[in-house]
Amino acid sequence: MLYEDAHLSLRQHYYTIRYTSSRTRNFMEEVNPLSEFISLAQRLRAYWWIGVLTLILIIITAFTEGFSVLLVIPMLEGLGQDTETVTEGNRILTFIDGIFDDVPDDQLLQAAAIMFVGLTVIKTSVYMAAITVQGWLQYRLDRELREEVYTQLLSLSYENLNLRRDSDWQMVLNSETGKAAAAVFGIVTIGSSFFTMMVYISALVVVSWQMTLVAAVLLILVFISLTTLVRYADRVGRRQYDYALQVTHGTMETLSAKRIIRIMHQQDYEKSRYFNLLQKLQRGFLILKVTTEASRQILELLVIGLLAAMLAISGIVLNVDQTTLIPIVSTFILILYRMMPHVLSLNAQRTTISANLASVRNVVYLLEEEDLSPMPDGNTEFKALNTAIEFKNVGFRYNKRDAWALRNINLTIGKSQTVALVGSSGAGKSTTVDLLVRLYDPQEGSILVDGVDLRDLRLANWRHNIGVVSQDTFVFNNTIAENIAYGSPDAIQADIEQAAKYANAHDFIQELPEGYKTVVGDRGVLLSGGQRQRIAIARAILRDPSILILDEATSALDTENERLIQAALDHLSQNRTVVVIAHRLSTILNADKIVVMEKGQVVEFGRHDELIAQNGRYATLYHKQFEQPSAYTP
């Protein structure tokens, strides 16, 4: 959550992640792989003409390659072989042979060879053009997927965003979209290889349909024999995805917890845990590499066996004399040999696609799962609070299986009032504020803003009118000026400096080597806690919100910093509606209303002196902090 919350909420979040991970695995197992590939490929609809161009180039490449290989007939004739029995009655071979009718017999071999080289150069050039266009489409798809996943990350409701770990999103953006795009275009490569094979098979049929039939049966048996390895690669790929995810998560966690790891001196433990994950990941990569290479080597072995078998049985299948057999078999074996790289490529792509299926499924799940919906937006414009914010019988829980975090909350926050939320940890204070900024929507009741349901207001308008200063302030790894201006893109330098002065931050900023251009490091690590707080206050002042939320903004500071920040907050709070989450009760004694919460419910509310007079839960909390006795017993 954006604000500090109870351990119970963190535990709820953990179980939600586990539940969602299980649903993700079920989705990945149930969905049809073909529909996933089609779904991803549809993102290139705008570039259909480039796809058509790629197809044309592939067709030209295939036919050029197929035609060039049939030039072996005139080459054999140039070597003195009798090819009449091969070309007799065959229109295609007769046409090719007729091209060289005017060429003298002693120049036939050279002419056929020159044409072969020329066609090969054309085929190679067209093929490179096809690869370039296909590569552009593949990287365009990768970019489209990254942009769509990133948009999903930003537009998802906060609740749905928390269903996955940050490392999950990082891995999808950094690697899974690329693997998914490569898998989609692996299908294109398979299609290209298959089409080229069909051209070669047509050439084989032209030479000898009998031997082609035998070869086709043997090739089908070869592919069936390799299906087990392809399925195994799919299973290994799924495990690899899980291991890679754990490694990514471990890396992010180590960087995020760098301070506590050193304080607790847990470097050896973290190193052992991370190295163990790397070992599993490495083992998976090795298995995938061995599986892919084994598939290729087995296929090569079977292909060599196929060629040997064709040589051995050619005389029996064709039932012709030796003179006729030599040109037919040599031509057939040459065409078959030229076709084999495409057979190997097709099989390699099958294995690679199977290994990347987990990436495809995960990307499709993130982009198309109906449960991962954005926060619904309203249509009503909101400019400023006119009367009041009202919680009416509000109930909320983080998961359907969890206990209610809030129940029957009825609360009115008047315009320009300061309302403080107090209570022990887990009472529901932060959850109430999260509902107010609409990170979540209540499952029961409603929140009314000037009589309009909060869900009907435009989110951009509403959140632009809210400023937040919390104890755990986030500062971006950017310059101080850009941090202050975050959320106020039109701010000029004079406005930024004026906001810093109101926040009592201008003096310390001026003392920095580069002033407002100083880069503050990850999460503002180069600044002190008090300095980060004042940057956050300056950011809120510049934004000029009508509603201000203060989440115990001074509780972790020393006396001097607390004095400076409290003065800045007092300036910021003038003529605004303020909601304060308070643990230090001395900071909210002058609040217009103090709301006491326990176990997700409002148990008391009123001004400080009224609540002290009631001698209830608030009086107990107050006297505990100031070490005075109270007669209240909960």
**How would you classify the pairing of strands 418-422 and 466-470?**
unpaired
pLDDT given at position 17: 40
Starting at the earlier edge strand, list the strands of the sheet with 406-414. 406-414, 388-396, 444-449, 452-453
Using CB atoms within 10 Å of the CB of residue 489, give its burial: 0 to 12 exposed, 13 to 18 middle, 19+ buried.
exposed
Rg (CA), the chain: 36
- Give me the average pLDDT of each 10-residue run along the chain (634 residues): 36 39 47 68 78 86 81 70 59 73 77 84 88 85 83 78 75 80 81 81 77 76 71 70 73 68 70 78 75 72 71 61 64 77 76 76 74 78 89 87 85 89 86 89 91 90 85 80 85 87 84 86 78 84 85 60 68 80 81 89 90 87 69 45
pLDDT given at position 394: 92
**What is the reported pTM?**
0.69
Instruction: Convert 447-462 to b/e letters by CB count within 10 Å (16 or more is b).
Output: bbbeeeebbebebeeb
Residue type, 416: S
pLDDT given at position 326: 67
pLDDT given at position 410: 92
Structure tokens at 217: 């049966």
pLDDT given at position 509: 87
Alpha-carbon distance of 134 to 207, in angstroms, equals: 33
Scan for tokens 């770990």, then name that residue: 165
pLDDT given at position 558: 56
Alpha-carbon distance of 286 to 136, in angstroms, equals: 30
Alpha-carbon distance of 359 to 365, in angstroms, equals: 10
Which residues on neighbouring strands pair with residue 391, listed in sequence order? 411, 447
